[in-house]
Chains A and B, each alone.
Chain A
Amino acid sequence: MAWNFLSDRPIYIQIVEHLKIDIISGKYSLGERLPSVRELAFEAAVNPNTMQRAMSELEESGLVTSQRTTGRFVTENVEILARSKLSLANQIAEDYLHKIGELGYSPQEAVELLKNI
């Protein structure tokens, strides 16, 4: 199934987010070899150049390392993984605070809401 993309952000950034979640959630485990750019582009139904750009971005984040002849691998560094996980969680929390703020809730009230779920 092709991946879904929103229209308000660059596609490559959304691919990066999608793959980060796949890695953090364990779909790809530590040190595992990732499918090739071509295979991933086909899976996501996107342009291979866009997938390539997303991969470069992931490499820069350290979450993915590239070995010239054998392909790309998920990092074996647990610290990098933990950091990415935390930064993604922060992003989701900020999104929540922003959305709930628009409804008129203060950050304290927002926390209370979470506790009561």
Chain B
Amino acid sequence: MDTILECRNLSKYYTGLPALYNFNLSLPKGKIIGLLGPNGSGKTTFIKLAAGLLTPTAGTLTINGFAPGIETKSFISYLPERSYFSSWMKVSDILAVFADFYKDFDMARALDMLKRLGISATSKIKTLSKGTKEKVQLVLVMSRRAKLYLLDEPIGGVDPATREYILDTIISNYSEDSTIIISTHLITDIEKVLDDFVFINKGQVVMSGVVDDVRAEKGKSIDELFREVFKC
């Protein structure tokens, strides 16, 4: 099976404290993968390393054979945990930034999704609700024809209807030759869109596998397995 992302003994320390430690992971192409773990387990650190926003303290991480850098940024579409739009900007300003920065940005697709959401390109960011901002950000990220999508907590902090919209948007934009990594601790909502799962805790991979294999072998959902593995 083709690999899109590979980590070998990857470690990241923040002023001496390990956020990731000897992290080993190999992710296949063409799958939707859930990166699941409790708060503070290292999910965001891992995603930021893959997005090239952090550099490893030790070990290696490669995406499609490249270390994170200019090359990988051209085919990775990253949704950060927080919104990074400036409040004075209009939706059209952000569309222009994406069109400028990314060759693979599909403007027609973005406009179509915004239209269906009833969001006008002339709206100012500061007039949008938190949920709407999250939707706009997801629309932008999913409008790129990327090889790898890194979605950090895409459904955190939004209502169930917005969650459904976000999952629908992910499903309908997914193509078989791309890979999507979704980090979250809201497993029930996301389980049915995942192929594979990775449990991480305290900066290390605890368990990984195929969602339907777990259900077939253990007769339980990933949500139930998570509660068992991470029982407090």
Chain A interface (Cβ within 8 Å of chain B)? 2, 5, 7-13, 38, 41-42, 44-50, 53
Contacts and interface: CB of A to CB of B under 8 A. Distances in A.
Given A10-B213, A45-B171, 5 more contacts: A10-B212, A11-B215, A42-B172, A45-B164, A48-B176
Nearest to B31: A49
Contact of B192 (A8, A9, A42, A46): A46
Contact of B32 (A7, A13, A49): A49
Nearest to B32: A47
Interface in B175-232: 176, 191-195, 211-213, 215-216, 219-221, 223-224
Contact of A11 (B30, B171, B192): B192
Given A11-B215, A48-B174, A42 B220 contact: no
Contacts of A45: 164, 167-168, 171, 192-193
Interface size class of B (residues with CB under 8 A): 20 to 34
Q: Is the interface of A mostly helix, strand, loop or mixed?
A: helix
A42 B168 contact: yes
A2 B193 CA distance: 12
B197 to A, nearest CB: 12
A49 B213 CA distance: 14
A14 to B, nearest CB: 9
22 contacts: A5-B192, A7-B215, A7-B221, A8-B219, A8-B220, A10-B212, A11-B191, A11-B192, A11-B211, A12-B212, A42-B172, A44-B192, A45-B164, A45-B167, A45-B171, A46-B171, A46-B192, A47-B193, A47-B195, A48-B176, A49-B31, A50-B192
B4 to A, nearest CB: 15
Interface string B27-71: 000111000000000000000000000000000000000000000
Contacts of B215: 7-11
Contacts of B194: 47
Contact of B171 (A10, A12, A42): A42
A1 B167 CA distance: 13
A41 B191 CA distance: 14
B195 A50 contact: yes
A2 B164 contact: yes
A42 to B, nearest CB: 6
A49 B172 contact: no
Contacts of B193: 45-47
A44 B216 CA distance: 20
Contacts of A46: 171, 192-193
A38 B168 CA distance: 11
B176 A7 contact: no
Contacts of B195: 47, 49-50
Contacts of A48: 171, 174, 176
Contacts of B164: 2, 45
A50 to B, nearest CB: 7
A10 B216 contact: yes
